Amino acid sequence: MHTQQQAASENSSMMTGRKTKMKVHPERKKEERAFWIFASPWIIGFILFTGGPMVASLWLSFTNYDVVSSPRFTGLDNFISLFQDTLFFKSLSVTTYYVVLAVPFTIVLSLLLAVLLNQKIKGLFIFRTLFYAPSIVSGVSIAFLWSWLLNPDFGFVNNVLHEWFGLAGLGWFTDAKLVVPSMVLMQLTSLGGTMVIFLASLQSLPKDLYEAADIDGAGSFRKFFNITMPLISPVILFNTIMAIISSFQIFTQAYVITKGGPEWNSYFYVYYLFDTAFSQFRMGYASAQAWILFLLIFALTMLSLTLSKRYVHYEYTSRK
């Protein structure tokens, strides 16, 4: 009887549009306060150092601003000028060329290294450390190291080519055709982060699938392409997107070694943006460049996610 009355009361409240407010347990409120307290440093940091500057950059992209004088609103003039700028298209084409070479190079080599470092051999932790360590070194230091290794006059690589193979030295950073491939080659010392992510995904795969494949007589290549690749496909997608984003933002190598040369063939997009902002002090124009880059990367990320629906498998859940 009491239950029927309670149900009738609830139905009556719903019919009349009145809502009953549920009491929140004090412990739940305490946890919620603790969450906001611990999250507040990140939220404040994001607003001050990321969100705020992004909003300011969006506003400046519609202005003529040279740091000295106040910003003057010019509407879409900066964006119109960009699409009439030959250097804009040159830097974008050079960067795209680098991305097309660097992303497959990074993903394939990182995955191969992860597979090799996932084997059971003695002293494996030493090899893992050696392959990962260069990725935490400063980008400027790595650039100076490669500028020495690939120096056309006294570089180690050219000396090896000459002494061992009798080949003439190559102008790695002075030849217009070789400068971008040389920048891609420098990725060899930056594979550590991507490799570790692949290695973690490989170590989480269930062994029973491989045992079943062994019983069926499957070889190593068949197991890799029919079991390993489908299971780690979400990780491949993640690393590919991150590689695209980082490759479009290449800057340090060109700034330290080539200064955009030779013949503008290493004048990457971010280098052009940096030059516009901090050499020419055209902050409005540079802000427009930054937002074009953001939209381009965002579009490529969405395209990658859309195309991946046919090849990426998410239904796997790890089993112990």
Cβ contacts of 95 within 8 Å, gap of 6 or more = 247, 248, 250, 268, 269, 270
* pLDDT of 159 strictly over 60: yes
The residues facing 64 across adjacent strands are: 72
Q: What is the mean pLDDT of residues 258-271?
A: 95
Cβ contacts of 293 within 8 Å, gap of 6 or more = 248, 249, 269, 270, 273
> Tens digit of pLDDT for each residue in 204-239?
999 898 999 999 888 989 999 999 999 999 999 999
- Torsion angles phi and psi, residue 75, rounded to 5: 70, -130
Q: What is the mean pLDDT of residues 22-32?
A: 79
What pLDDT score does 23 carry? 67
Could you write out the three-class secondary structure of 127-161? Answer: HHHHHHHHHHCCHHHHHHHHHHHCCCCCCHHHHHH
Share the mean pLDDT of the chain: 90
For 73, the enclosing helix (H) or strand (E) is strand 72-73
Q: Which residue is it, tokens 């269930």?
A: 206
Q: Set out the domains of the chain in order of their start, with CATH numbers.
A: 24-60 (no CATH), 77-310 (1.10.3720.10)
For 289, the enclosing helix (H) or strand (E) is helix 283-307
Question: What are the C-alpha distances in Å from 190 to residues 28, 186, 237, 290?
Answer: 44, 8, 18, 25
- Are 269 and 92 in contact by the 8 Å Cβ rule? The answer is yes
> Tens digit of pLDDT for each residue in 64-116?
999 999 999 999 999 999 999 999 999 999 999 999 999 999 999 999 999 99
